[in-house]
Amino acid sequence: MIFNPEQCAIPDERMKPFIDPEEIWRHLQENKATPERVREIIAKAIGKNRLTLAETAVLINADDPALIEEIKQGARTLKEKVYGNRIVLFAPLYIGNKCTNNCTYCGFRASNKDAKRMTLSDEEIVKEVEALEDNGQKRLILVYGEHPHYSPEYIAHTVNLVYSIKRGPGEIRRVNINAAPLDIEGFRTVKEAGIGTYQVFQETYHPEAYAWYHLGGKKKDYEFRLTSLDRAQEAGIDDVGIGALFGLYDWRFEVLGLVRHANHFEACYGVGPHTISFPRIQAASMLNMDGRYLVNDDEFVRLIAILRLAVPYTGLILTARETARVRKEVMRFGVSQIDGGTKLELGSYSDSKNQDQDLNKEQFKVNDDRSLNEIIDELIGEKYLPSFCTACYRLNRTGEHFMEFSVPGFIKRFCTPNAILTLAEYLEDYAPEETAKKGWEAIEENLQELGNSAQVQDIRNRLEKIKQGTRDLYY
Ligand code: SAM
Ligand code: SF4
């Protein structure tokens, strides 16, 4: 059992705002970092215990370069120990960029008259998804602006449409959502369409800073957004993703805000968030903000390592907002999911003539524009095991990250075999010869590491079936 009520500084109530800025600042001021304390806390996290706010604050306050190294090493050890070498791959699909809000950092904001507004028609969604399937994608996150056009019924319609599109061996097996907060009824409607994770990023957990950046529309309401994923839980969506947009306010505060959000979910629903995202502000059309809180690369690595240690059972997502170099660096400290072959411009997966980035058509700039195959190549070269697994979600094994973390042998029994099987499908159906060769070698190495059990023999049998054309085998 990971939830210890004493870890929550204030009693939690469902659907009630739970962030107290003074409490967060107090933790940051009072919990000084001594080498002994930092080491104790790292050891606690490596022992698979999730950290309190006070303990996380100690790690945040560790400024000494040698201690920062120890924190990074701790995160690395925890990642290797708990999650192994798998990296799950997905792609974002922007459905529409109409927006009634005015988030000053976002190219889609209503006041940006230069933005070219569009919503993909059903025919265009089909073309986009076919192009994504032709690349080998199996997991998508659909992204929408906030606009009456993007009602829960419309979102559910697009999800159903995406699941129905099959081309050759291609199919999308998991659709996640990043869209505006809904009411409970709305969340019920999208749940019925069979979504995976519903993500809503708080952007900044600091209420005053939140007001600086959110100048109009429904998103102005800090509390409505903060409690959005409680409404999702009430509607039965227990697979939720939280996030903060780093660069809006002090990163130290935001890390504690994310941890506070995670422990609120544990307290109220007995399950933490499925994923945490930590986008950094990127260039966007007419982006106009002072750079006071921008997070540099060193701080970024640090905060990811701290999050890994603080909430060890949650998936960490890193997107193509970051450069290939930064992605490669931070993946070692705890990231478990990345996107590949990402294009943000609406309609650009299927429109090969239109591949130049145009900030008037995108929400922000993509910094890693490598193809899915280039990313898979690099992952294999770095000894990661690329995975398109969607098994837990389809077998109703909710709380999969928690199980990976807490059920002995879960990764060996389920995650690694499923990563191997889904990679094998990719290699057979989509990979160029060179990648296929390296990929099969990587599969063999991973099988060797799994040992010589009856299950390994079963995986080998399934791999043979995949070579003969059977698809979608999973444990
Ligand atoms: N419109 C919905 C919303 O605001 O929640 C969902 C989609 S929004 C397009 C997805 C996320 O992109 C936002 O939550 C925000 O964190 C991030 N984002 C917005 N502008 C950005 C920028 N300039 N750089 C990096 N990320 C940005
Ligand atoms: Fe609209 Fe979302 Fe961009 Fe805000 S972040 S302007 S809500 S698309």
For residues 223 and 239, the answer to whether their CB atoms sit within 8 Å is no
Q: Tell me the two tokens of residue 174.
A: 């998991």
Q: Is the CB of 210 under 6 A from ligand 2?
A: no
Q: What is the mean pLDDT of residues 217-234?
A: 96
Residue nearest atom 2 of ligand 2, based on CA coordinates: 145
Instruction: List, for residues 315-350, the tens digit of each pLDDT value.
Output: 999 999 999 999 999 999 989 999 999 998 899 999
CA 357 to the chain's CA centroid? 23
Measured at the CA of 335, the angle between CA 357 and CA 370, to 5 degrees, comes to 25
Q: Tell me the two tokens of residue 349.
A: 């997966």
Q: Which CATH number is 384's domain given? A: 3.20.20.70
Do the domain assignments include residue 449?
yes
Do the domain assignments include residue 422?
yes
User: Which residues, listed in sequence order, are joined to residue 119 by a DSSP beta bridge?
Assistant: 96
Q: How far apart are CA 414 and CA 45, in angstroms?
A: 24
pTM: 0.94
Q: Is the CB of 186 under 6 A from ligand 2?
A: no
Q: Is the CB of 281 under 6 A from ligand 1?
A: yes
Q: What are the backbone dihedrals phi and psi of residue 176, each rounded to the nearest 5 degrees, phi first?
A: -100, 165
Q: 386, 404, 422 — which closes off a domain? A: 404
Task: Indicate if 400 and 416 belong to the same structural domain.
Answer: no
Task: Indicate if 102 and 166 belong to the same structural domain.
Answer: yes
Q: Containing domain of residue 354, as a range?
A: 85-404
From 220, 256, 45, select the one nearest 146 (Cα to Cα).
Answer: 220
**Does 313 or 299 have the greater pLDDT score?**
299
Task: Indicate if 194 and 293 belong to the same structural domain.
Answer: yes
Instruction: List, for residues 88-134, the tens digit of each pLDDT value.
Output: 999 999 999 999 999 999 989 999 999 899 999 999 999 999 999 99
Task: Indicate if 416 and 363 belong to the same structural domain.
Answer: no
Q: How far apart are CA 309 and CA 57, in angstroms?
A: 12
Q: What is the mean pLDDT of residues 452-459?
A: 93
Q: 388, 404, 420 — which closes off a domain? A: 404
For residues 91 and 341, the answer to whether their CB atoms sit within 8 Å is yes
Task: Indicate if 316 and 205 belong to the same structural domain.
Answer: yes
Instruction: List, for residues 358-372, the tens digit of each pLDDT value.
Output: 656 666 778 899 999
Q: Is the CB of 109 under 6 A from ligand 1?
A: no
Instruction: List, for residues 231-267, the tens digit of each pLDDT value.
Output: 999 999 989 999 999 999 999 999 999 999 999 998 8
DSSP strand E in 40-168: where? 86-96, 139-144, 166-167
Q: 404, 422, 445 — which closes off a domain? A: 404
Residue nearest atom 5 of ligand 2, based on CA coordinates: 106
Instruction: List, for residues 11-47, the tens digit of each pLDDT value.
Output: 577 888 899 999 999 999 999 999 999 999 999 999 9
Q: Tell me the two tokens of residue 415.
A: 């995650």
Q: Is the pLDDT of residue 285 over 70?
A: no
Domain count, the chain: 2
Q: Is the CB of 222 under 6 A from ligand 2?
A: no
Residue with tokens 């290699």: 427
Task: Indicate if 455 and 378 belong to the same structural domain.
Answer: no
Could you tell me which residues come within 8 angstroms of residue 409 by beta carbon, excluding any fewer than 6 positions away? none
